[in-house]
Amino acid sequence: MLLKAICAGLLSWAAIGSAQQHVFGHSQSYDEGLFTPAEDLSTLSTTEFTTLGHPAFPQYGVRIKKSTDFCDTTVNSYTGYIDIQARHLFFYFFESRNDPDKDDVIFWTNGGPGCSSSLGLFMELGPCRILDGNGTKFHPESWNSNANVFFIDQPIGVGFSYAEYGETVSTTEEAAVDIAAFVAIFFENFSKFKGRPFHMAGESYGGRYIPVFAAEVYDQNAVLIEKGLTPINLTSVMIGNGITDFYTMAASYYDIACTPASVEPILSIGACMRMKQAVPRCQKMLKESCVDIFDAMSCNAAALFCGTEISLPFFYSGKNPYDVSRDCDGAIEDTLCYPVTKQIAAYLDRTSVRAQIGVDPSITANFSSCSSDVGTAFTLAMDEFRPTYHYVAALLERGVQALIYVGKNDWICNHVGNEAWTRELEWSGHDAFAGTPLKEWTVDGKKAGETRSAKGLTFLTIEGAGHMVPYDKPKESLEMVNRWLSGAPF
């Protein structure tokens, strides 16, 4: 089990336990050397895809259409595919409710690895929510209140994303190349967004995804400049309850289950004593085999030991690993502890909905919130054991700010482990950040959590929230994002 128990966007427990190129009419091939920017989203069709290209990425294209009255009738919304030859990534894009012509742009991905960002869209921070079997409901605390927001099903095989010939992606670095190309194509085609502050955000395994994706976007700017194109104004990364450092997270599972770090101790004294004894052994094995020198066989053995001794006792408790203040609602492999995930899947299985948003007709299988195949591929590649916090440090050194926010009731990607890596992070701002005490931040005069900030790095907790902060605390979540985008202090 863990450390294979990755912090999911929701977690794909099945992974732990165990074609057509275009629709809605004609689209030109991407290698024809033709490049005519679309310039304005308002020109897009509601019935046919418009295909966009980019001279710097001849093997990539974007099919996009306007999805009228989808999810949020107060703004324009768009859906489509990022096409990488025979591989296709599905995305949703919602304009800002405030000022789409001036507001920042946010990229969002859920985690897994292998979980669809429809969870973030319909359950957490999107313009609408699915609460039951009656369709969508307007969500007033959506993050598109003051920003233009993308939701992307990635990598290939997640959600409505697909490959024509069985191609797969099994590492975050591979996935990053596709995401960075998409970002460049979008901004180059829709010139009104050029130069806008761009924020890359994600949850859970997003703690691995986002730093790598952002680094690829940043480094790609050199290529864009060389070709005389406008670079992406990468301004910040935002990571919610992320698995950015598996090493500090492993030890923190004891703290959440056996001390009052979040709620009162969950496990028996006997179980906690065994876990306490296992923690230093787990840390020693992980450091020697996964951190200092990566040895796949020994690292796997270390992960197995840590999972058996430190993680399994928690799962036997029946508590929700995403919110230790409550029990898991339903079988975790069926509901992910949240039955609403089944309602989301049922909604996305409607023929009318798929037609409206332009899901490729070659996709006939029932919608799945998380792909066990993708999760297994990343697990076999041992992707979670690659050092990700170094990317955060490198981004900070280049002026890209980082917000690390954590719901305090989460177990799987908790605040103890995340605070530890941020304080230990090696970068030029280390002393200033580590030497800054936590302070209370408030919303409407009430304590919302605690925060520490210095030199562009901010760590922040949210009281009463679990793994999915926007789901549990939508008001506080939106306030957090609005302050971050505006540069207002916490």
Exposure of 457 in the CB half-sphere (CA atoms within 13 A)? 26
* Tokens 């406008």, residue located: 230
Six-digit token string for 314? 């928690």
Tell me which residue has tokens 């233009």: 148
Q: Do 413 and 207 contact (CB within 8 A), yes or no?
A: yes
Distances (CA, A) of 475 to 142, 436, 465: 9, 27, 11
Return phi, psi of residue 74, to 5°.
-90, -10
Q: How far is residue 51's CA from residue 185's CA, in Å, rounded to a whole number?
A: 11
HEC per residue, 352-364: HHHHHHCCCCCCC
Pairing of strands 77-84, 198-203: unpaired
Q: Which of 245, 410, 453, 472 is catalytic?
A: 410
Q: What is the DSSP code string of 11-70?
A: --HHHHH---S--SS----TTS--------GGG--SSSPEEE--TT-TTEEEEEEE-TTS
Paired strand residues for 106: 149, 199
Is position 369 annotated as part of the catalytic site? no
Annotated active-site residue in 262, 467, 472, 477: 467
Map 308-334 to HEC letters. HHHHHHHHHCCEECCEEEEECCCCHHH
Catalytic residue among 204, 252, 262, 477: 204
410 is catalytic: yes
Of the candidates 56, 26, 130, 63, the one whose C-alpha atom is nearest the C-alpha of residue 344 is 130
- Which residues fall within 8 angstroms of residue 128, CB to CB, at 6 or more apart? 71, 72, 121, 122, 136, 137, 138, 139, 142
Check: CB of residue 400 under 8 Å from CB of residue 39. no
467 is annotated as an active-site residue = yes
- Is the sign of the CA dihedral 87, 368, 311, 380 positive or negative? negative
Which residues have a catalytic role annotated?
204, 410, 467
